[in-house]
Amino acid sequence: MVAYNRPITLEAALKEVTQERFCKGHHYRDVALTDEMVEQIVQVKSLVNMGFINTAITDEALRYLATLPKLKLLILEDNKQVTGEGFKYFTGKPINHISLNGCPVTDETLKIVLQVPRLKSLSLKRTRVTFEGLMAVAHYDKVSFYLDKPFTAEQIKAFEQAQRTAGKKKPATTPTDDLPIVKQLLLDFFAAMTEWEAYATKNDDTQEGELLVEEKCKALFQKYCTDKRRAGYRPEGIHFSLNEGGAYGAHQIIDSELVTRNKIYLYTQNNHDDQFRFLIVKKDGEWRIDECQRHDGGWSKYGL
């Protein structure tokens, strides 16, 4: 069993990031690493991925970490003296991913953390942030939050809904009666894709089988989707999930957004809590699936 905050020398701490040329990072775990040691560690300017888990650092260490020009991922877990206040030094320093699991982050210091520009994901498990404090920052809809205790499943769903609502464009002034039709279209597409992937896993091991798999995929897209080019994605780039249920078997529709009279977003979530949205468009009086996006620090293109 690893000792709690076992001693570490400055020499040993520096060795981890200087023994290789152009070192990209290191995770220090269960050691009594101090702010003064971090001040020396950040002299290695090539560091991109850094972790300090259960160490002796405080918010002052963030002042030094903010000087790293290439830092993109920072894991600060179970550090009892890191409140998040030190992220005031990061206001002009873009960093993509931060984990503060097990740190005494509060509602107020959370606001400081979220001032980091271009932040994509923030893990806040086992902190002091309250549900009220969380809902107060729901307008940060481009940040993916990773949550568990002390929040309930219902509170997490409510927060995710608030984020989606904050990220929606101004709703169309004219409602549509086609929403049930659009939802059924997407569900039918999911069912057809699940059936196709099950067929593909059993029949793609021969040249003849590969051709049949490709033909069935193209027919499926012709039935449910728009005819725009999808270079590198299905149906031009054939790929399929080997997992039970396929790529869409676990997806559930959780929200919708009426963009215009002829454009609707349907939001889904899978069994890993990943969120997606599908753009459904109406062309020549018929609804078709146009594209899929995945939420990861904002919405980005994701193949159907």
Mean pLDDT of 89-97: 90
Decide if pLDDT at 25 tops 70.
yes
Q: What are residue 253's DSSP bridge partners?
A: 268
Q: Does one domain contain both 60 and 192?
A: no
Mean pLDDT value across residues 137-144: 93
- Residue 209 and residue 110 share a domain: no
pLDDT at 196 (0 to 100)? 87
| DSSP tag of 253 | E
Average pLDDT over residues 141-169: 91
State yes or no: pLDDT of 290 exceeds 90: yes
* DSSP state letter for 160: H
Quick one: pLDDT band at residue 2, thresholds 50, 70, 90? Answer: very low
Q: What is the mean pLDDT of the chain?
A: 90
How far is Cα 289 from Cα 93, in angstroms, rounded to an integer?
Answer: 38
Query: What confidence score (pLDDT) does residue 232 get?
Result: 79
Q: Is the pLDDT of residue 161 over 50?
A: yes
Identify whether the C-beta of residue 124 lies closer than 8 Å to the C-beta of residue 156.
Answer: no
Does residue 66 belong to any structural domain of this protein? yes
Domain end point (choices 113, 144, 167): 167
Which of 167, 188, 223 lies at the terminal end of a domain, its last residue?
167
Distance CA 13, CA 10 (A): 5
Instruction: Over range 156-173, report the average pLDDT.
Output: 84
| Residue 128: CATH number of its domain | 3.80.10.10
Domain boundary among 134, 167, 200: 167
Same domain, 162 and 24: yes
CATH code (residue 287): 3.10.450
pLDDT at residue 171 in the model: 61
Confidence of residue 229 (pLDDT cuts 50, 70, 90): confident
Q: Identify whether residues 42 and 120 lie together within a single domain.
A: yes
Q: Where are the alpha helices (DSSP H) in 168-275?
A: 179-203, 207-224
CA dihedral 295, 296, 302, 304 (to 10 degrees): -40
Mean pLDDT of 104-130: 96
Is the same domain home to 151 and 201? no
* Shared domain check, 150 and 208: no
Domain match, 97 and 219 both: no
Determine what percent of the chain is predicted with pLDDT higher than 70: 96
* 31 pLDDT tier (thresholds 50, 70, 90): very high
pLDDT digits (tens, 9 = 90+) for 249-277: 889 999 999 888 899 999 999 988 889 99
Specify if 68 maps to a domain. yes
Split at pLDDT 50, 70, 90, the class of 3 is low
Within-domain flag for 70: yes
Model's pTM, two decimal places? 0.80
Does 1 map to a domain?
no
Mean pLDDT within 158-174: 81
Instruction: Report residue 16: phi and psi, to 5°.
Output: -65, -25
What one-letter code names the amino acid at 195?
Answer: E
Q: In the chain, how many domains are there?
A: 2
Kindly state the average pLDDT of the residues 51-65. 97
- Its domain, for residue 117, covers 10-167
> Are residues 102 and 35 part of one domain?
yes
Does residue 108 sit in the same domain as residue 131?
Answer: yes
The reply to whether 126 and 221 lie within a common domain is no
Contact (CB, 8 A) for 196 and 223: no
Q: Are residues 188 and 292 in the same domain?
A: yes
> Is the pLDDT reported for residue 282 higher than 60?
yes
Cβ proximity of 27 and 16 under 8 Å: no
Do 157 and 45 lie in one domain? The reply is yes
